Amino acid sequence: MSNPVQRPDVRIIPKALMMIGEEAIRSRDGLETGGILLGTDDGQEIVIRHAGGPGPKARREFHRFLRDLSHAQQLAELAWREDQSQWIGEWHTHPSGDVTPSNYDLEAYAQHLHDPELGFKRFLTIIVGITRTDEITAVAWIVDQETALPVPVAVGDDREGTPAPQSPADKDRK
Ligand SMILES: [Zn+2]
């Protein structure tokens, strides 16, 4: 039985997290920025594998961010070819520092969720509060037809293919 309200585990690959951090810091000018999130959602675990930047035609405003659609589509195609990642959500900054989705955000997500072509059952969003001072906070939200719920995000690579690092220095010490 599937329960749509149940919160999945969310994990982000370190390089995707770094991409978000770098892009957010680079655009610390009081305007929102963001990009798409690409990865896999098997129902129980969502893995964020790639995070996009805003793209050259994005519209960055004080209270909203309109992504560059063709840029997003290009990223989505590349990610699909690389590791079958799909569009699972988006991230964007809030220069106010407030990390809750705005009404504008919630309306945009509702439109995505109602668009049969996109086929979303739920939508993942990471909101990065970044003010002109040094404060950076980020909260991930799972948005479905009824609610937006904050979810904890683990940071880590896939277990397969990335064995735990064994430091040769440890052996040498013995
Ligand atoms: Zn927003």
In this prediction the pTM is 0.85
pLDDT value at position 117? Answer: 86
**How far away, in angstroms, is 119 Cα from ligand 1 center?**
22
**How far away, in angstroms, is 24 Cα from ligand 1 center?**
13
**How far away, in angstroms, is 33 Cα from ligand 1 center?**
9
**How far away, in angstroms, is 66 Cα from ligand 1 center?**
10
**How far away, in angstroms, is 109 Cα from ligand 1 center?**
10
pLDDT tens, residue by residue, 92-149: 999 999 999 999 999 999 998 999 888 888 999 999 998 877 678 999 999 998 899 9
Tokens coding 112: 């995505």
Mean pLDDT to the nearest integer, 38-58: 95
Neighbours of ion ligand 1 (CB under 5 A): 102, 105
